[in-house]
Structure 1
Amino acid sequence: MMKSPLLDSMQEAFKLVKAGQLGEATATIQRALGGKASAKDDTIIEGEVLHKTHTQAPPQQPATPTLTPSTEPKHGANKLNHLFKTFAKTSTVTPQPIPNNAQFITKTFSNQYGSRDYKLYIPSTYGSKPVPLVIMLHGCTQSSDDFANGTQMNALAEQHQVLIAYPEQSAQANAQRCWSWFKPQDQTHNQGEPSIIAGITQAIMSEYQVDKKRVYIAGLSAGGAMSAIMAALYPDLYSAVGIHSGLAFGSAHDLPSALMAMNLGAKPIHKPNQFVPLIIFQGDLDKTVSLRNAETLFEQAKTLYQQRDEYFELTTQDYHPSNSHAYTRTVLKNSKERHELEYWTIHGAGHAWSGGDRSGSYTDPKGPNASWEMLRFFLHHTL
């Protein structure tokens, strides 16, 4: 991990959180950003990730119902992930080329709680037939183009005729462009940012040929935490959810509690009322979002599923592919062998999208491929 003053400040803030000095932790972060210290500030910072410097072949996939794309998403140029020089603005990212007749367009949605831009990928094969829709929520300091490049979801969408939307947090709403997963209003149905993200989803469903029973949502870190919120608040809208390096619904209610949850895990103050099929990815060396948060997500979802009083089978298996990180996968499947819950612990991985492309930030190209596995999981689920 590359050292920097900001990372040093984050580590110092986490030590203060452990010591119970929450106000001092907040002040430390604000000083690192060059701003005034305030316990009321909304800023949450995600750690830096150094991209790997080697090219990696597509990882070996476990013997489960899988997608079989004709080609794996290709890695971009081999380059190191640079540290963001300014955190008030997102670095300019060039979208990757798209096939002829495909579109990657910018649109805007507004309601009483604000306005957000979003990018929408429309595959070249899109026509009159209803297709699935996936909503992708980026992490802090990222943009829609950055997240699209890093996850390579557009390439998979092209192969499997899926619409992909990337809502983009604004710097006006949060200087770090973090989704406000830790604010009470933004954990409430039909209020704040959840209402905007749901509004974007519904606007696309109204304007395009979308299979309303096959709408999904996924995110990384702050975007993963917001995806958990969206699944909890809108279980009748999303058929399944993917959370990479995120936190459970109700894990925090302000900045200090968010810092504590990120570093130490949290006992959620709110819980979903309805089970939504879930796939979780988490690196066990993540220094930004503790592994305990993924464990909480899994246990919360498993408890909700058990309340259905349905048959299920729970299995855990370790995998050691020669061309990717080793990982442990826990699967809960129903009587029809369909996977309702998957939890992937990536051994040796940090705070990065597993199997992502180097052209995006917060990615670990070594894999396994979280994008591939999430889409495979999603397409097995309908409302």
Structure 2
Amino acid sequence: MGPSHPPFRFTKGRSLVRGIRRRVAAAAGTLALTAGLVAMGPQASAAGLTQLTGFGTNPGNLSMYAYAPDALPSGAPLVIALHGCTQSASDYYAHSGWPKFADRYGFALVFPQTSSANNANSCFNWFEPGDSSRGRGEALSIRQMVDKAVSQYGSDSRQVYVTGLSAGGGMTANLLAAYPDVFAGGAIDSGLPAYCATTVSAAYTCMYSPPDRTPAQWGDLVRSAAPAGTSSWPRVAIWQGSADTTVRPANAAELRDQWTDVWGIGQTPSRTESLGGGTTLTAYDDTSGRPAVEVYSVAGMAHGLAVDPGSGTEQCGASGTYYLDTICSSYHTVRFWGLDGHDQGTGALPAPTGLTVTGTTGTTAALSWNAVPDAASYTVYRDGTKVGTTGSTAYSDTGLTAGTTYNYTVAAVDAAGAPGAVSAAVTASTTGFTPTCHTASNYDHTVAGRAHQSGGQTYANGSDEPMGLWNTFTGHTLEQTGPGYYVVADSGCPA
């Protein structure tokens, strides 16, 4: 979205409607400019970007720009990155940090671009069914770009991912719902639940006060948009600033409800983790122990994409309008998707059995498992990310945070270097946890990952103690007594 108003759709041959909508959009744009919100991005011409044409019938009237590192090998992943309102492909390329990780880890990037010919504010039309449904409009144009890039760069069609900011985030959610057979994962940055709106007026509602649907109701919107019989779903990262007044933080909670329901894993977090930039990560694991949905809440961040300019391993991007200096969201999304080099499990060896936690300290977790015949080595995953390789059936993970819970799996690797099936997960909790107290509204507790809501009611994570209505007016004190475990402590918090 970018500015504080949703996009307005224009189509050729509808001059009267177009004229009316241009006047409405101009008025809304004046209000946004008065608030200092709108900053027009340059057209796509930055060095390193290449415009590709001939990618299909292009019913959505989009432009395709791409970036591929030198000597990109065949079979590399592909990432589709969707800009926000008033932005462009080159603007997103220059600020988001994605090219840095494409170079480092070896994958191709596609930056679809819309224009004022489609929308007064150059927004993707996430709220228009004719543009955001499977096989229609802009959604189909982006699907055709995927086919073009897979052919052009030899990308692995099993490793295609999509991310987007604001209106691009809303479109990302819709694409994940409409094309779960195309996208292995997605990242929705300051965006909306899939199919939250199907009209302009509903778009305003979703942005400022999203409907409080049940997880099943949100999930049904995804299931009805996907091909019949879909049983495999993309892994979804959700990024949201707690001070966002354009796309309210409640959208992140509804997105969480939507995608955890689709995965069938419930809304109780598997763990929470504090990251840099005032960011809290809340993870929801699938039955194998891999994170299926992750929510990143950035304290104090307004509407935009989280970046962290610098040359460090975990830094990326350039700050600017709607590019906010907090934390590098692209880096953490890369890790969540496994594009940082963790193996995809393509080998034929069976999953190791008997994975056990043999001991923990404040900073380490020791593991052991049964040997797999013909295994040349074993790869160990912590919270779905590769952390080490060993030739034995034991491994000690180091550098951990005290009083924190981690999930581990392991895969056997054959002589050709291909990892096999991943084992069942085990949980290890490091020692030395220090209880803490947190007093806040029920709404803020859920955003911070200390509680969850269902049907408009709030419950403490871990203990599931009832906390009353999910809103900003009802509040409690919660004591964290263990990793991911909170109890109501209104009568006094010992910590």
Alignment TM-score, normalising by the size of structure 1? 0.71
Distance 1:190 1:48 in 2: 37
Residue correspondences, number:
303
1:219 equivalenced with 2:178 (yes/no): no
Q: Does 1:302 align with 2:260?
A: yes
Structure 1 residue 362 and structure 2 residue 312: aligned? no
Query: C-alpha offsets along residues 177-226 of structure 1, whole Å, 9 cap, x if unaligned?
Result: 10001112123210111111111111111222111111100000000000
Measure the CA separation in 2 of the matches of 1:148 and 1:218. 13
Indicate which of 332, 346, 353 corresponds to 2:298.
Answer: 346
Is 2:260 the partner of 1:314? no
The aligned counterpart of 1:121 is 67
Does residue 376 (structure 1) correspond to residue 321 (structure 2)? The answer is no
1:60-99 alignment to 2 at 5 Å? 83-84=38-39, 90-91=41-42, 95=46
> Whole-Å Cα distance in 1 between the matches of residues 66 and 169 of structure 2?
19
The answer (yes or no) to whether the contact 2:176–2:186 under 8 Å persists in 1 is: yes
Match of 2:414? none
- Deviation digits for residues 203-261 of structure 1 (CA, Å, limit 9, x no counterpart): 11122211111110000000000001111000000000110000011111111110111
Answer whether contact 1:243 1:280 (CA < 8 A) is retained.
yes
**Letter of the structure 2 residue corresponding to residue 271 of structure 1:** L
RCO higher in structure (CA 8 A, sep ≥6): 1
**Where does residue 376 of structure 2 map in the other structure?**
none
Flag the 1:360–1:106 CA change in 2: closer, same or farther, 3 A. farther
Q: In the alignment, what sits opposite 1:176?
A: 121
- The RMSD of aligned alpha carbons is 3.1
TM-score, length-normalised on structure 2? Answer: 0.56
Higher helix residue share: 1
Instruction: Say which SS state the counterpart of residue 334 (structure 2) adopts.
Output: helix
Is the Cα contact below 8 Å between 2:97 and 2:307 reproduced in 1? no
Q: 2:283 matched to which residue of 1?
A: 331
Which aligned pairs between 1:1-383 and structure 2 lie closer than 5 A? 30-33=26-29, 83-84=38-39, 90-91=41-42, 95=46, 103-108=48-53, 109-111=55-57, 113-127=59-73, 129-266=74-211, 267=213, 271-273=221-223, 275-306=233-264, 314-317=269-272, 319=274, 321=276, 324=277, 326-356=278-308, 357-358=317-318, 360-367=320-327, 369-379=328-338
**Do 1:134 and 1:218's aligned partners in 2 also have CA atoms closer than 8 Å?**
yes
Alpha-carbon distance in structure 2 between the residues aligned to 1:196 and 1:381: 31
Inter-partner Cα distance in structure 2 for 1:33 and 1:294? 26
Of Structure 1 and Structure 2, the greater strand share is in 2
Task: Report if the CA contact (8 A) 2:76-2:154 is conserved.
Answer: yes
| Structure 1 residue 313: Cα displacement | 7.8
CA distance in 2, matches of 1:366, 1:114: 34
Q: Is the 1:136–1:217 Cα contact (8 Å) retained in structure 2?
A: yes
SS in 1 for 2:256: helix
Gaps of 5+ in 1: 1-5, 11-25, 36-43, 50-82, 98-102
Instruction: Give the C-alpha shift of residue 27 in structure 1.
Output: 8.3
| Aligned amino acid, residue 314 of structure 1 | P
User: Measured at CA, do residues 152 and 360 of structure 1 come closer, stay the same or move farther in structure 2, by a change above 3 Å?
Assistant: farther
Cα pair 2:283 2:291 within 8 Å, conserved: yes
Instruction: State the one-letter code of the partner of 2:322.
Output: Y
AA at the equivalent of 1:215: V
**Distance (whole Å) between structure 2 residues aligned to residue 214 and residue 290 of structure 1:** 31
Could you tell me which amino acid in structure 2 is paired with residue 31 of structure 1?
A: A
Show structure 2 runs of 5+ residues with no match: 6-21, 224-229, 309-316, 347-495
